[in-house]
Amino acid sequence: MTPASSLPADDGLADVYDAAAGWRERRRLAGWSQADEAALTAWLEADAEHVDAYAAMSEVETFLDDAVAASELDHEMDEARAAFAKGRVRRSRRAFGLMAAGVVGVAVLAGAGIWSRTHSEVSERTYVAEAGRRGTVVLADGSHVTLDGGAAITARIGRSRRDIVLTRGRAFFDVAHDPGRPFEVSGAGRVVRALGTAFEVDLAPDAYRVALLRGRVRVSQAADGAAVELAPGQILQTTAPGLGAVVNDDVAAATAWREGRLVLNGQPLETAAAEINRRGGRPIVVRGAARALKISGAFGVDDPETFARAIAAVHGLSVGKSSDGAIVLSPAKDSSAAAD
């Protein structure tokens, strides 16, 4: 057992990794309780560095198994100490984890090797929602994901990490509570890290958005590591490179699409139609002065024609059909599309 004083200091991170290693050890012992789990969650949610350190210790457990098997542990520990001496620790999460492992006791971490080798399988699957229809899937870790029409994700669920790639569209994630496995959603050059959280990531055609319903998430730039944390009821949205602005908003309304609804508060009809069209299915085309018509209310989005007829009835528009089958909304005097 290596004494705690042997862990070199690095701007306070040493204590964080020391604590993370201790949490990992305690969580494997008999008698771990719900109160312990709540205390661990509180510690993780207190600082993003805590989550990074805890994830590093999870990775180190797997790494140590290989190092012990190859009789290279002493060499790896020497390299970790050298990283501290040269000030390279912030770029070497493994080095910090190895040193913390030495504090807790390598034998304890290496003792997880059998579990690691027999449970190291990674579940990787791609899910695609049919155009115009929502879909809900349960990932291998128990997390629930709702995909809007046409959306697609690839989920890679492993022993120490849960990595999701959103390739198109938008998805709402209700994350299974598991402090030991960070849950990250990447897309559009950004990464959202969550823990026991319900949130949306939206790759809109002209914007990137993250909306947090509950819990906490950290959104970071893949390019430079710049990050911002969101609290429940906050939305991050940007139409340009970077993280953009964070605002307080009605997240339940913003994510109502997962229940088949579109909540509008004075948006132009053209914008509302674009929201429905992005899901796939039969498109709506808005013509003339009808484009700027302000719309408010809650509408179903699963049937574009029903939406169009409801809007037309309230605002005196005509509903027609273009030659390619699209639904056309236009002022009543506009007869450029065949009326139904």
User: Quick check: 328 and 305 in contact, CB under 8 A?
Assistant: no
For residue 193, the model assigns a pLDDT of 93
Establish whether domains 123-252 and 260-339 are of one fold.
Answer: no
> pLDDT of 87-129, one tens digit each?
444 434 444 444 444 433 333 333 333 233 333 468 888 999 9
- Summary mean pLDDT of the chain: 77
> pLDDT of 176-187, one tens digit each?
988 888 999 999
Question: Phi then psi for 259, rounded to 5 degrees?
Answer: -105, 10
The β-bridge relationship of strands 245-248 and 317-321 is unpaired
Residues facing 326 on adjacent strands? none
pLDDT greater than 90 at residue 293:
yes
Torsion angle, CA of 96/52/91/229, rounded to 10 degrees? Answer: -150
Q: Label residue 317 by pLDDT band (50, 70, 90).
A: very high
> pLDDT of 130-177, one tens digit each?
888 898 988 888 899 999 999 999 999 988 899 999 999 999 999 998
Domain 123-252 has CATH 2.60.120.1440: yes
What class does CATH assign to 260-339? alpha beta
Report the C-alpha gap between 277 and 132 in whole angstroms.
Answer: 8
For residue 117, the model assigns a pLDDT of 32
Q: Where are the domains of the chain?
A: 4-118, 123-252, 260-339
Give me the residue label for tokens 């994830």: 55
Q: Which residue has the higher pLDDT, 180 or 76?
A: 180
